[in-house]
Structure 1
Amino acid sequence: MKTPNAIRGAAPRAADAPLRPGVDTAAVQRAYRHILRRRLWLIAAMLTAIAASLLLDFTLGPSDLPPSRLWQTLWHPAAAEASAQVIVWDIRLPYALMAVIVGMILGLAGAEMQTILNNPLASPFTLGVSSAAAFGAALAIVLGLSVPGLPAQWAISANALLFALLATLLLYGLTRWSRVAAAGVVLFGIALVFTFNALVALMQFIASEDTLQGLVFWTMGSLARASWTTLGILGAALIVLLPLSLRSAWQLTALRLGEDRASSFGIDVRRLRLGTLLRISILSALAVAFVGPIGFIGLVAPHIARLLFGEDHRFYLPGSALSGALVLSLASVAAKNLFSGVVIPVGIVTALVGVPFFLSILFRQRGLL
């Protein structure tokens, strides 16, 4: 039986006995250190690329402000005009940072979802979280129903978050009660997707022309709702949940070997799957509540990370989060600059990029590529 250190990918200690006679322990350690250095360099390169994309997203946009004035307003806001302050501090900077944080959230959630379901086509929205959030938003937009006492500007986000969390609790309860395997979890999720999609269609049918336009725009997914408050909420959730995901990295790596193998290592697979599902649902619910359903980031980012870092979840999970941040940040740049003076909802851009990628994954699974 493999030791936990072997599962974690840790280098064998000098005192450890070789696994079999004739194994060159020193060569194994050198190869491991080489792989470790390569992965650390890849993470550093991705951080550099994200920083460059963030600067590009901040600099480029539909306003006529030259980059020199943008940077002057950023570093010396008191000396800038009020209009420039609004563009830089209330629009450009929150918009760019929101793309990075939401991308990290969706990338991390997608990586964990594909692992616990053992399905490379899974994403954070596979289990109906985004559909439930869309129905909550539809209730606020079309019927004006929301949590009593909340300010009007928070009504849509609060409803979306509430219904996404309710769907999460429902799925969690059904899974815990029925004790189904991964395939059963997916079937429950698909049932939730169809149910809430039908309810959203009903809301669209009874909506007036103005409210229908608002609902359709919300379902496209947009970073235009970014603010410092929403950034703080999403950032706090990521700071809390990312370490919990990394803490389960070796268990998730073992799960990739199969449920029986993971159980033989002493891992409670059912508890691991439910805990991971809860983290995924919370992250997805928060992201959808504030930016709407932005598809394909949670599908594309894990595959990029898997190509770069392999299945070692100590690197695969942060790599997927960074991949999601980079992809969504670049999509944000494209959304603001494809057409002069027009900002396209970023969900449209990610869908256009994600569909060919999705088809390539499907064809690879069937051996057609």
Structure 2
Amino acid sequence: MRELPVHREGIVSAQYRGVQPVLALLLLAVVVASARWGAVPITTQEMWHALRGAVSGAPHVASLNERIFLEIRLPRALLAALVGGSLAVGGVLMQALFRNPIVEPGLVGTSSGAALGAALYFVVGAQWRVHAGAFTLPLAACVGAGLATWLVFTLARTAAGGRNSVVAMLLTGIAVNALCASGVGFLSYIARDPQARSITFWNLGTLAGANWTTLGVVSVTTLVGVAVGLRHARALNALMMGEEEARYLGVDVRRLRVAVLVGNVVMVAVATAFTGVIAFVGLVVPHLLRLWRGADTRYLLRGSALAGGILLGLADLAARLLVSPAELPIGIVTSAVGVPVFLVLLRKRDAFF
């Protein structure tokens, strides 16, 4: 298992100079394009009038297109940026924490646990008529993600004799993911047709449920996760040289691991709870930036937050335009793009081994 390379601060700072403003401008362009184009095209003038009326608070009779822009398109475009950024940042944190470039946020059971929690809600909740509002499904997914992640940590420590073993955690994560996948499969088998379709579409990912309330919740957890990552970025850089070396440099490895994992689980679980399972963003985006500009965690976190939003925003735009006026599940688009990119990266052996 090859550890991720660490670059000197001055070299990496020079390499990343100017990259973040470019990524920020690209993200802004993607958000505008995603809000404008779709089954119902919206003109720039209509977008401007809608924003001006919403900001000023003056009496304004919004047209149908303006309402579509404010109530559907804009929150969806912004949610895509936030979820893409959170998944990409989660990939950076996991790869740095485990010193393994093929780790992604779902490997410790977060995504599969969320899928199992959502499936239980669709099947058991429908039979028991459990419904507590718009947040029932996200709450069930978050509980499933938290329980699955806790199970991975507990079993990994037990298997390693009470020690924190990265290898034991990764292997336990694979086993728990398989267990959750079998649970989702069983629930899909016993579910009625509408419930089974809901499980299938949720597992393929969708941004169709975006609204301003959802956007507010995801923005808070995303900012918390990014803040946790940036606070511990230097310690993660030290950890990439090895646990013993990090301890010699004064890093509390156990505390670092707990803080990063908790921040990552909260960020990814909430994003997954509202949008379903979206694959490859947390794996591909950090690799592309690492090959482009280096592996310093401080710069990867900022760059991935922007690049992840760009990737998911483009994927959502493609999902709505390719089969317009229908809509593809966004997970199909990210997988269709992510698999070829991952295979190309895999051929560059230096990126992995």
Give the TM-score normalised by structure 1. Answer: 0.85
In the alignment, which of 79, 95, 104 is matched to residue 123 of structure 1? 104
**Aligned partner of 1:124: which letter?**
P
- Point out 4+ residue stretches in structure 1 off by more than 6 angstroms: 145-149, 366-369
Match of 1:300 in 2: 284
CA RMSD of aligned residues (A): 2.5
Match of 1:320 in 2: 304
Match of 1:341 in 2: 325
Q: Quickly say closer, same or farther: Cα 1:189–1:108, change in 2 above 3 A.
A: same
* 1:205 aligned onto 2:186: no
Q: Tell me by how many angstroms 1:145 deviates.
A: 6.2
In the alignment, the residues of structure 2 paired with residue 98 and residue 329 of structure 1 have an alpha-carbon distance, to the nearest angstrom, of 9
Q: How does 1:17-96 map to 2 (within 5 A)?
A: 32=10, 36-76=13-53, 78-81=59-62, 83-96=64-77
In the alignment, which of 237, 242, 258 is matched to residue 242 of structure 2? 258
In the alignment, the residues of structure 1 paired with residue 290 and residue 128 of structure 2 have an alpha-carbon distance, to the nearest angstrom, of 41
Q: Is the contact between residue 335 and residue 345 of structure 1 (CA under 8 Å) also seen in structure 2?
A: yes
Q: How does 1:163-312 map to 2 (within 5 A)?
A: 163-176=144-157, 178-312=162-296
Determine which structure has more spread, i.e. the larger CA radius of gyration: 1
In the alignment, the residues of structure 2 paired with residue 230 and residue 270 of structure 1 have an alpha-carbon distance, to the nearest angstrom, of 33
Tell me the SS of whatever aligns to 2:327: coil
In the alignment, the residues of structure 1 paired with residue 135 and residue 166 of structure 2 have an alpha-carbon distance, to the nearest angstrom, of 35
- Deviations 1:110-146, CA, capped at 9 Å, x for gaps: 0010111122111111122111111111111122169
Aligned length: 341
Q: Is the contact between residue 73 and residue 80 of structure 1 (CA under 8 Å) also seen in structure 2?
A: no
Q: Is the contact between residue 135 and residue 196 of structure 1 (CA under 8 Å) also seen in structure 2?
A: yes
Q: Quickly say closer, same or farther: Cα 1:179–1:91, change in 2 above 3 A.
A: same
In the alignment, the residues of structure 2 paired with residue 249 and residue 96 of structure 1 have an alpha-carbon distance, to the nearest angstrom, of 29
* 1:157 aligned onto 2:141: no
In the alignment, the residues of structure 2 paired with residue 175 and residue 148 of structure 1 have an alpha-carbon distance, to the nearest angstrom, of 36
Tell me the SS of whatever aligns to 1:224: coil
**Aligned partner of 1:59: which letter?**
R
Give the TM-score normalised by structure 2. Answer: 0.89
Q: Tell me by how many angstroms 1:164 deviates.
A: 0.6
Tell me the SS of whatever aligns to 1:119: coil
Q: Is the contact between residue 94 and residue 228 of structure 1 (CA under 8 Å) also seen in structure 2?
A: yes
Unmatched 5+ residue regions in structure 1? 1-6, 11-31
**Aligned partner of 2:220: which letter?**
A
In the alignment, the residues of structure 2 paired with residue 312 and residue 368 of structure 1 have an alpha-carbon distance, to the nearest angstrom, of 16
Q: Is the contact between residue 102 and residue 352 of structure 2 (CA under 8 Å) also seen in structure 1?
A: no
Identity level (%): 35
Q: Quickly say closer, same or farther: Cα 1:93–1:118, change in 2 above 3 A.
A: same
In the alignment, the residues of structure 1 paired with residue 128 and residue 284 of structure 2 have an alpha-carbon distance, to the nearest angstrom, of 35
